Chain A
Amino acid sequence: MRPASFEYHRATSLEHALELLGEFGENGRPIAGGQSLVPMMNFRLARPGHLVDINRLPLDAIEIAGPVLRIGALTRHIAYFDNPWIARHFPAFLDAVHYIGHPTIRRNGSIGGSISHADPTAELPAISVLYDADIVARSVTGERRIKAQEFFLSAYVTALEPGEMVVAVEFPIPPAASTGSFIELGERSGDFATASIGISLEHGGGKIVRAAMVCCGADLFPMRAPEVEDFLVGKPLVNPSGAEAGCIFAASIDPVDDHIASADYRRGLIAELTHRAIEAACTRALDKS
């Protein structure tokens, strides 16, 4: 449980970090909060020859940039907790971060790290998929934006190329008449989820006008639920048929079966969480209006 040997480099600027990462390619890795990377290295599941410490870089701003909320890659999980603006515009986001780990982990862990690590049941990847966020990645050759839905390829596998790093995640700001919710269940508080469901809704005239839903625990990456999203359109906020939506979704998935939870249990749980998340989001919408 000790890491294999590696060289440590402290990046002094973004350009410096990109240069180093470009130079090391496959053999280099950025280190942010270290809350996922260090355990992986101690188990020797990750063996980067070079670590590029990006913690000194000024990448921790949360800012509204026109139509998007732009969150710098080094923003720590703790930063959202007392942000009423996020609570108002991205309620599912704020719900979700409360489920992340424990205080120490939230103080150290970063959004860039969480997104890049791509744990299949991590909250921030799920939230970025739910809100159709853009992952802003940079390398020495330039910047590109990757749609969250195209970013997470499998468990711990992303669309990032060697030499590339995440600099920010951009969330389109939902319209005023919108709300959402995020519910998860794990064995213990702070554990990665056995399953979780996020819902984001636009509503008008007491009805759902547009819906997005994300689920963790059904596959090896956070997946959207197009059949539920379609089903929900036109449903009343009062009694939105959440239970039925849960059944529809549960019938369409083939969840993971492991020693924490059987596939049957996950399917049942996901149906129930879908129901509850929809109810919670609709209740919020009604409370607001």
Chain B
Amino acid sequence: MKADRPKHIGARVQRFEDTRLLSGSARYIDDIRLPDMLHLSFVRADTAHANIVEIDTSALADLEYATWVFTGKDTAGLSMKAHQDYPEMQYSEQPLLAEGKVRFVGEPVAVVLAEDAYRAEDAAELVFVDYETLPVIGTMAQARDSSLPSLFDGWASNVIVQRQMKGGDLEAAKAAAAHVIKRTYSTQRQAGVPMECRGVVASYDHADRVLTVWSSTQMPHLVRTYISEELDLPESRIRVVAPDVGGGFGVKGQVFGDEVLVAWLAMKTGRPVKWIEDRREHLIASIHARDHQHTLEAYVSADGRLLGLKADITVDNGAYSTFPFTSAGEPGMVGKVLPGPYDFQAYEATFRAVATNKCAIGTYRGVARPSAVFSQERLMDDIAKELGMDPFDFRLKNIIRQFPYKNVLGFSYDEGSYAQSLEQMQALLAEDVTEAAASRSSSTKRVGVGIACFIEQTAHGTPDFTRRRVPIETGYIAARVEMSPDGEVTIDLGLQNHGQGLETTMAQVAADALGVNPENVYVRHGDTLTTPYSVGTWGSRGGALGGGAVHLASLKLAAKLKTIAAHLLQAKPDEIELANGNAYVRDAVQRFIPIRKLARAALRNVDQLPEGMQPGLEAEQRQDGPKDGTYSNAVHAAVVEIDIPTGKMKLRRFVVVEDCGTILNPLVVDGQVRGGVVQGIGSAMFEHFIYDAECQPLTTSFADYLMPLAPEIPNIEVHHIETPTPLTPLGAKGLGEGGAIGPAAAIANAVANALDVGVSCTPLNTNAIWKLSQHLRGAA
């Protein structure tokens, strides 16, 4: 007889953390209030490029309340250094507070501290900065014009880094091609917009020489390491806590200068210091994303086979390099991922980041891939159109079907469901395709169908970061699992949970290995005091690698429980099964002992342990990523309806077929996909961070920076295919970012289909659609 073993992995478990998050009892950074706390307000550059002639703080002396003011002179030498060790890369640093020069609107120039946040903001207005303005570098073209002055002393030009990747024989591919299709595509600059802005609180305990920093971050350990190195403090005496984080989306997945600065100020003033970013600061000066231009040239045989691809990629990086992914990260990612899910063996990409007087590009959900997939998938449709082929047929002809597949750059793809997902999508869209074709006769209302087929390298680990020479350096995720004498389980997780459902999924994983219920597993995270060192939650790695670490650590603990059970039940350890809170003898379920009794034996009644066994029930595991990561795949589809006279576009349908390997919890996967898709819709249709010719930002509040709103979002249909990977312990692949990667391409393809035009850029807002449909309005 076999014990009935519930399986928690894969179950639709409602998220445990939602009780806290939805009832208003979560604790965010702004909820941290300490005695004697000072509040910080930044004085930020209001001009994009200028020498600082003078900073006059004398007006503060006349105030009736106390203020503390600091400028770049006080913090001289402290800076953010984010460099990738390529010989081609030009080095720059961003001082914590500007020293001598400002390079974008929003750059911190000074800080004012006061007893309350209102007074700090009042006082900051009184700081007068005299600027000598300099001409700006405002566009990619200006940045590539080597006759214009460089943003940093000692730089040869404003091209920060330019590199190349290639594989196969591109000349031969070109020679064999019957069609050469060349197009330029671009995606607009965006802000990354979590609901909660950023914020930092720091407090220094002089007695114990311990610095505590609370930060709304996705990577508390990395913040600790950076502060330690920059402020020259032992890491053992720094505690970084990420409290509940109200969305991160990669924006909070970098270490920011303000995190170091607030820590430094707490030490300097001897009082706790708090800074809560406001929305304007967030929009102009945290990080930006996308802002790419790609010129692609495809070589295609007469019968529609993709033979080779040549790419030229430029990213408008803004002024500074962000830590730890640097300004080389974004263009490098495009060069790496453009080959995508298609089978061809000749490729060459030249990619560069250029410096302009704008906010720096950082990581935002999808990281370069929404732009790369936009170009890749627009190109596939443009080729299909040129060849007179159906977009599905053209893709199915070129899609990779044999796994593992070694791509043109040498990356190994583990098994996926590329063709299957395309075929499934084709069936799901049959009626819409017919309707779209029928609408071609109308000059007032058009329907369009567009797809985006893509893969995503996920669960990157140390080998990938070593290859990229990126200062993150390492990629493992650690978990410690501990059982207390009452049989309850605690997981201390190196990940930080900010919407991924980790407090639930990790409990499900541990519960399966330990034979307990997920409700009995308490997942702690985000505090360097309690959690083992890891580099944080980002890059679609949490479920695959964090889940793997929890699984393997739990198995170690389970092994010890089984040994104790075997001893007490007079059986062999490999005859023991853990399920439903009990340890059973397999095939003799009447011989069992509650797991909580084993825990008590291990920790309190230790005289019951087998001879020589150490007391205690804990295990730790670090899980790194496979050499080339593991590849998730998906097909996204959009059905749009366009009112030709006004340009108004309605998203009628959005469909996702996705494969992220083993599904830990379908509710969480659906939520991650849908949330990502909504952000992708934002990229496709609404969000645009705009600078004018002088690099003054124009979209500095939600009145101008348009986020997608609920009424604009259709029901997002999600279909799953499960192809577990052999490369991670549970077969899970990453999925956090995928939702945001496909929509811009799918929607653009739908627009191209509806209007029978080429679409080369986003956002496809009403004005853009109106322009694209000009030819359908006749002479008007």
Contacts and interface: CB of A to CB of B under 8 A. Distances in A.
Interface string A1-26: 11111000000000000000000000
Contacts of A265: 647, 766-767, 770-771
A4 B709 contact: no
B645 interface: yes
Contacts of B701: 43
Contacts of A185: 646, 648, 766
B706 A187 contact: yes
Interface centre among A2, A4, A189 (most CB of B within 10 A): A2
B690 interface: yes
Contacts of A75: none
B122 interface: yes
A190 B711 contact: yes
A83 B280 CA distance: 39
A288 interface: no
Interface residues of A, number: 24
B468 to A, nearest CB: 36
B117 interface: yes
Given A2-B117, A259-B704, A189 B767 contact: no
A187 B279 contact: no
A188 B648 contact: no
Given A2-B121, A262-B767, A268-B770, A189 B645 contact: no
B610 to A, nearest CB: 63
B704 to A, nearest CB: 7
B765 interface: yes
Nearest to B280: A1
B499 to A, nearest CB: 23
A272 B117 contact: no
Contacts of B704: 259-260
Nearest to A191: B706
Interface string A147-189: 0000000000000000000000000000000000000010111
Contact of B711 (A5, A39, A188, A261): A188
B711 A189 contact: yes
A273 interface: yes
B646 A269 contact: yes
A114 interface: no
A5 B122 contact: yes
A43 B688 CA distance: 21
Interface string A119-142: 000000000000000000000000
B686 interface: yes
B22 interface: no
A187 B766 contact: yes
A259 B712 CA distance: 20
B706 A5 contact: no
Interface centre among A3, A44, A187, A262 (most CB of B within 10 A): A187
B709 A188 contact: yes
Contacts of B427: none
A43 to B, nearest CB: 7
Nearest to A43: B701
Contact of A194 (B117, B121, B280, B766): B766
A269 B706 CA distance: 20
Contacts of B765: 187, 260
Interface string B666-707: 000000000000000000001010100000001101011010
B98 to A, nearest CB: 22
11 contacts: A2-B121, A187-B706, A188-B711, A188-B712, A191-B706, A259-B690, A262-B767, A265-B767, A265-B771, A269-B770, A272-B646
Interface of B: 117-118, 121-122, 125, 278-280, 645-648, 686, 688, 690, 698-699, 701, 703-704, 706, 708-709, 711-712, 765-767, 770-771, 780
Query: Which 6 A-B residue pairings sit nearest by Cβ, starting from the closest?
Result: A1-B278, A189-B711, A272-B645, A265-B767, A261-B767, A2-B121
